[in-house]
Structure 1
Amino acid sequence: MNSEEQAQGEKRVMQLLVEPLKKRGLAKPTTLTVAGFEEMVRDMCARLAYMSEASLMALEEQVAANPGGKDRDRFPIANLILSWAADIQPPGDGASPLIRAVFAHACGQAALAEGWAPELLAELRKTRRWPGGWALKTIRDAAARSVQRLQDLDARLAREGELAPADREWRDQRIAVLQRCREIAEGRA
């Protein structure tokens, strides 16, 4: 997402989410100062800029139905709104600073080099959490069969020059996801 698309997305979030909620009478959370609330809204707009109009309208409806505060007249905290947003329209991998950071880190580079980057990407999309040592080992172990299958298919292709249609389709999809992971690691996604 370039800077122009980001700015348009932030404006869309203000128009379709924040302003309608304010018109419904939702006020800032009591735990935040006015400046803190404004900063929360700015940050939330930046993080939700990827969302479509339809998804933002659905999110506005969900937030309005689940207001915060003891009197149910407050904006919920941004973390809750962001969680609901991810359920409605998950951010693409290019939209997530976390995913870009993991693939730029040594663990992401190892995943690319060893061929288990697609599984790492899927896990990051699912958990939205930096993977620790145990998680990385689990992901790597779960990917072992797919990594081996790609190596076997590459060897068969080199040897026979052809693959069955199902194998070719699986291989092409895997290579496309690996390429996407490389682009993320290089900052091109």
Structure 2
Amino acid sequence: MDSAEQAAGERRVKRLLVEPLQQRGLVKPAGMTRVEFDAMLDSLCAKLAYFTEVNLMALEEAMAGMASGKARDRFPIAQRILEEAVKIQPPADDASPLIRAVFAHSLGHDAIAQGWAPELLFELRKVRLWPNSYLILQCRERAEPHVRRLAHLVDQRAAGRGLSGDDEAFIRKREAAMEKCRWISSLGQMSEGAA
């Protein structure tokens, strides 16, 4: 997402999520200053800029039902909105700063080099947390038969032996998944370079 798309997305979030909630009468959460509330809304608009219009309208409806306070007239906090947002429209791999950062990190480089990057990407989409040692081990174990099969099939092909359609499809799918991980890694490195 380039800066023009980001700015347009932020305006869309303000128009279809923030303003409708405020028009319903929702006000800043108790205990939060106006400056903190405005900063929360700005951050929320930036983080949800990837959302489509229809999904923003769905999120607005869901958030209206989650208003807080005794009178249920308080704007939900950003964390609550973001948790619900991921259920409605998870960010694409290229829109997630976490996924970009993991693949730009030495951990992501290792996953790509060793062939377990697709499993890492799958888990990151699911948990949306920096991988701990247990998750890394699970990814490696889950990838091991796929890495072995790919190496075997590539050797078979190099030796001139014919492969079945299923085997060829497996190679294409695995190579496409690895290429996607390399692409995400390059996006993360570009983001780091721009910072």
Structures share a fold, TM > 0.5? yes
Q: Extract unaligned runs of 5+ from structure 2.
A: none
Counterparts of 2:103 and 2:118, CA distance in 1: 11
Equivalent residue number for residue 87 of structure 2: 87
Equivalent residue number for residue 182 of structure 1: 182
What does the per-residue CA deviation read over 1:37-96, in whole Å, with 9 as the maximum and x for residues that have no partner?
A: 111111111110001111101101100111122321111111111111110011001011
CA shift, 1:16, in A, is 0.5
Decide whether the 8 Å contact of 1:116 with 1:147 is kept in 2: yes
Equivalent residue number for residue 70 of structure 1: 70
Equivalent residue number for residue 159 of structure 2: 159
Decide whether the 8 Å contact of 1:69 with 1:76 is kept in 2: no
Equivalent residue number for residue 26 of structure 2: 26
Equivalent residue number for residue 111 of structure 2: 111
Runs of 4+ in 1 over 3 A off after TM superposition: none
Per the alignment, do residues 54 and 162 of structure 1 end up closer, same or farther by CA in structure 2, a change over 3 Å counting? farther
Q: Extract unaligned runs of 5+ from structure 1.
A: none
2:130 maps to a residue whose letter is W
Decide whether the 8 Å contact of 1:29 with 1:76 is kept in 2: yes
Aligned length: 189
| 3-state DSSP of counterpart to 1:91 | coil
Task: Quote the RMSD (CA, aligned, Å).
Answer: 1.4
Equivalent residue number for residue 133 of structure 1: 133
| 3-state DSSP of counterpart to 2:100 | helix
Higher mean alpha-carbon deviation, 163-172 vs 79-88, is at 163-172
Higher mean alpha-carbon deviation, 56-65 vs 144-153, is at 144-153
